[in-house]
Amino acid sequence: MNRAICREALVTAGLLREPWLRQAFDTVDREAFVPAAVWLDVLDEEGRWTFVDRDEDPEAWRRAVWNPYRSVITQLNDGAVARGPSAGDFTSSVSAPDIVMRKLQHLDLRVNARVLEIGYGSGYHTALLCERVGEERVVAVEVDEEVARTGASQLAAAGYEPELIVGDGLCGAPGGGPFDRVINTAALRRVPYAWIEQSRRSGVILTPFGTAYSNAGLLKLRVDGTGTRAQGRFVGESSYMWIRSQRPTVDLRVPEASTSRSSPVDPAQVLGLGHLQDFAIGLQVPDVSYSHQGEGPARRVQFVDEAGTSATIVRYGDWWAQDAVRCWGPRDVWAEVTAAYTWYELQGRPHLTRFGITAGQDGQFAWLDEPGRLVGS
């Protein structure tokens, strides 16, 4: 795997149609932005992420760098893991070339645009932006100090000097706007008003978007004429690591007492049918997450709300039994999830690109086809 093969794969996928993207891909050397020690999103036999050191295995490292479809992981657990094969959460990466190019195509970036990038990480994507609009029109924010230091030095070594801010990208770049484009490179659940405020009227905000239930959509919002609201549809799929302060976490503190009932539907129909269905259900129950436990006849799924006050466990093997669903706390989370599933079925299982979000100062809401048609209603 090398640069030429990666290029061909991107061309074949229609992702280098725009001349500036071809030129930027050819000019910015991805190898200059990938550290020597990285992880791959490939598990080894012991269930740990594969570790690659360029000095020990330059070929494997180069294959990883130029894989068109895979990101290269540069940090696990916010930097708690130094080196070597390891389990852990991905907390920084050099995103895969195909999603980088896909997003840049959606961004519709004009030469004179002023751009805000959130999560500059290695700086590779920042360098591509600089190639298009010039470094003086790019502002990039990274939350992790160590990652930011590495990214800044890689950018400087490659000859790019955009404005770099170390801090929480959810605050944008106060005083740095107005921006024509805001491009986020980590998944979020709530669109920050700061990005709308710092955007120009008609500006575009492009961000991976998910819910506690599912992390799957690429959202393209356009700021309206008042400059106080942004609205738009999902334009495709994306799977990014979470923006740091919006990672779904649960501190479970449900009461001991529970109630039992049967389920009206096989959980395998509601879960297990793919990420697009999960995405649509998640838009309706955005604060609910689930995890599976057990195998075979003992298999069950647990749902919890983000406040940690309600939980429901549903058994797969005999979901029709009188006690297959057990609920703790004030919310019957399984009833909410099945209602969301029913709504999705009744709408004819709409594709992700029919959904949209409207965001403003007072929060956000999700809709189907048009802003007046709220999800779940």
Q: Which amino acids are annotated catalytic?
A: 95
Query: What's at 280, amino acid-wise?
Result: A
Q: Which of 132, 118, 124 is CA-nearest to residue 208?
A: 118
Q: Determine the size of the site formed for ligand SAM (CB under 6 A).
A: 28
Selected from 67, 95, 211, 238, the binder of ligand SAM by CB under 6 A is 95
Under 8 Å between Cβ of 336 and 344: no
26-32 long-range Cβ contacts below 8 angstroms, 24+ apart: 27/131, 28/124, 28/127, 28/128, 28/131, 28/158, 29/158, 30/3, 30/6, 30/65, 30/66, 30/94, 30/97, 30/124, 31/62, 31/65, 32/154, 32/157, 32/158
Q: Which x/- pattern, by CB under 6 A, does the window 239-278 give for ligand SAM?
A: -xx-xxx---------------------------------
Report the site for ligand SAM in 338-377 (rule: CB under 6 A).
none
Q: Is 122 in the site for ligand SAM (CB under 6 A)?
A: yes
Under 8 Å between Cβ of 219 and 207: yes
Pairing of strands 90-94, 72-76: antiparallel
Report the site for ligand SAM in 174-203 (rule: CB under 6 A).
185-186
Give least dist CB 149 to ligand SAM, A.
12
Q: How far is CA 254 from CA 278, 289, 304, 312, in A?
A: 25, 15, 9, 10
Selected from 25, 39, 66, 120, the binder of ligand SAM by CB under 6 A is 120
Phi and psi of 106, rounded to 5°?
-65, -25
Give least dist CB 91 to ligand SAM, A.
6
Q: Which two tokens stand for residue 352?
A: 């992700």
Selected from 68, 97, 119, 232, the binder of ligand SAM by CB under 6 A is 119
Give least dist CB 66 to ligand SAM, A.
14
Of 44-52, 112-120, 282-290, 331-339, the window that binds ligand SAM (rule: CB under 6 A) is 112-120
Q: Is 92 in the site for ligand SAM (CB under 6 A)?
A: yes
Q: Which two tokens stand for residue 263?
A: 């389920």
**CB nearer to ligand SAM: pick between 28 and 271:** 28
> What b-and-e string marks burial along 304-334, b requiring 16 or more CB atoms within 10 Å of the CB?
bbbeebbbbbbbbeebeeeebbbbbbebbbb
**CB nearer to ligand SAM: pick between 160 and 303:** 160
Chain position whose Cβ is nearest to ligand SAM? 119
Q: Is 81 in the site for ligand SAM (CB under 6 A)?
A: no
Under 8 Å between Cβ of 92 and 121: yes
Of 41-49, 62-70, 165-173, 350-358, the window that binds ligand SAM (rule: CB under 6 A) is 165-173
* 110 CB neighbour count, 10 Å cutoff: 11
Give least dist CB 146 to ligand SAM, A.
9
Of 7-15, 37-45, 168-176, 192-200, the window that binds ligand SAM (rule: CB under 6 A) is 168-176
**CB nearer to ligand SAM: pick between 142 and 287:** 142
Under 8 Å between Cβ of 284 and 214: no
The span from the CA of 81 to the CA of 90, in Å, is 11
**CB nearer to ligand SAM: pick between 140 and 357:** 140
Of 80-88, 142-150, 209-217, 283-291, the window that binds ligand SAM (rule: CB under 6 A) is 142-150
Give least dist CB 183 to ligand SAM, A.
9
Residues that bind ligand SAM in the complex, under the rule CB under 6 A: 91-95, 100, 118-122, 124-125, 141-144, 147, 168-170, 185-186, 240-241, 243-245
